[in-house]
Amino acid sequence: MTIGLAERVIALKPSASIGAKQKVLELQATGKTVIDLTIGEPDLDTPAHIVSAATSAAEGGDTHYTVPMGTPALRKAIIEKLRRDNTLDYALNEVIVGVGAKQLIYEAFAATLNKGDEVIVPAPYWVSYPDIATIHDGRPIIVPCPEGNGFKLTPEALRTAISPRTKWLVLNSPNNPTGAVYSREDLSALAEVLRGSPHVSVMTDEIYEHLTYEGKALSLGEVAPDLKDRLLIINGVSKAYAMTGWRIGYAAGPAALIAAMNKLIGQSTSCASSVSQAAAAAALSGDQACVAEATKTFRKRRDRMFELLDGTPGMDIRKPEGAFYFYPSVAGLIGKCTPDGKVLTSDLDVSLYLLDGAHVAVLDGGAYGMSPYLRMSFGGAMEDIEAGCRAIRKACEALV
């Protein structure tokens, strides 16, 4: 007897980034050496004072269920963080904790989307936005944001994309995969368009907020406080504090939406780990020197990757302003022939060539909604970055 699967699951595409990581692990398990530049997490260890807070919580018996929306201690820490870093004021019932930021994006769409509602997703985009919207009967409206515009959504493109069915605009800054960061002027211009469309809510994914290299990343709420009642901020401790495995994200938004998300969490995961929540509270409330140090480390890696890849034949590379990814164009490689006679017809072909020929794993731009590009992470160790970049350059030089 076969258990039939739901149509929405059959249509759902696996996560490209998770799939790439699995492929790397499979190759490594066979004994092959693969340099992994697909990694979407810091290779750094969680700072000691955060681990210590978790240990103390566990040893002190803080190992039970919490309320679905998160412990008061963590939500108070989030409120203080938003006030300290973003000059934003939120109440306890306007903040919620999830099992990672991804869960909160999922629950927000589950709580708000009806069949046919539209979600504007600027491309390039993080791979899960369109799929999570589709799961909940939403219709992703993909808006190309070309490199000539800094990979950023323009007011004109936003105005054109909005329709009477638009429910959400998803805005990710600093951006995965491009590293683009929206300036105050960029956000102000988008806010002016949004003021003319009061039926559109805005989800701002700020998970890479602290990983910026040319100034501070701003939240839309800082620039346009009048839009607060239709703004949902998504953030978490994964990237800035090297806590991906702790699985803690948080969101801040209108109380009615937060209450709806709370109901959904109560019927799904029940709550995030109590021990992880104690660790996250320590991360947000404690000494922030670890964040500055991590940013310094990633800036060095960014600059080194640029130094090694700049001038690579067929590759046009620019320095990202934030996050820890490069998103170079490989238009100059399309049509080239590999040493074994295969013609590269897409960025996917290029990524597979680099995997097979250079033993370097990268992600194709098609997975992020814009080709022909590659996403390369500098979240890993400097030695891997250097070895990977040299192998990529050599492989590109071998094309004819």
Report the chain's terminal Cα–Cα distance, integer Å: 53
Is 197 among the domain residues?
A: yes
CA dist 5 and 60 (Å) reads 44
Cross-strand partners of 141: 120
Number of folded domains that form the chain: 2
Residues 129 and 106: beta-carbon distance below 8 Å: no
Tell me the one-letter amino acid at 379: G
Of 287, 321, 342, the domain-final residue: 287
Domain shared by 277 and 320, yes or no: no
Is the pLDDT reported for residue 13 higher than 80?
Answer: no
Domain shared by 74 and 215, yes or no: yes
State the average pLDDT over residues 62-75: 98
Check residue 39 and give its pLDDT.
85
pTM of the model: 0.95
Domain shared by 31 and 144, yes or no: no
Check residue 169 and give its pLDDT.
98
Per residue in 173-232, pLDDT (tens digit) is: 999 999 999 999 999 999 999 999 999 999 999 999 999 998 899 999 999 999 999 999
Of 251, 267, 287, the domain-final residue: 287
State the average pLDDT over residues 92-101: 98
Check residue 253 and give its pLDDT.
98
Domain shared by 168 and 309, yes or no: no
Is 55 among the domain residues?
A: no
Please give the residue range of the domain that contains residue 151. 64-287
Residues 193 and 156: beta-carbon distance below 8 Å: no
Domain shared by 385 and 322, yes or no: yes
State the average pLDDT over residues 354-374: 95
Domain shared by 176 and 252, yes or no: yes
Could you write out the DSSP letters of every residue in 12-72?
PPPPHHHHHHHHHHHHHHTT---EE----S--SPPPHHHHHHHHHHHHTT--S---TT--H
The candidate with the shortest Cα–Cα distance to 113, out of 92, 136, 91, is: 136
Pairing of strands 201-205, 166-172: parallel
Is 52 among the domain residues?
A: no
Domain shared by 342 and 272, yes or no: no
Task: For 147, list phi and psi in degrees, rounded to 5.
Answer: -60, -30
Per residue in 245-261, pLDDT (tens digit) is: 999 999 999 999 999 99
User: How many CB atoms lie under 10 A from the CB of residue 306?
Assistant: 17
Could you tell me the CATH number of the domain that includes residue 355? 3.90.1150.10
* Eight-state DSSP code of residue 367: G
Domain shared by 99 and 184, yes or no: yes
Of 271, 287, 303, the domain-final residue: 287
- 3-state SS record for 93-161: HHEEEECCHHHHHHHHHHHHCCCCCEEEEEECCCCHHHHHHHHCCCEEEEEECCHHHCCCCCHHHHHHH
Domain shared by 209 and 319, yes or no: no
Residues 345 and 353: beta-carbon distance below 8 Å: no
User: How many CB atoms lie under 10 A from the CB of residue 6?
Assistant: 9
How large a percentage of the chain has pLDDT more than 90? 90
CA dist 225 and 220 (Å) reads 8
Cross-strand partners of 76: none
Confidence label for 1 from pLDDT (cuts 50, 70 and 90): low
Is 25 among the domain residues?
A: yes
Could you tell me the CATH number of the domain that includes residue 227? 3.40.640.10
CA 306 to chain centre: 21
Check residue 142 and give its pLDDT.
98
Domain shared by 295 and 283, yes or no: no
Is 50 among the domain residues?
A: no
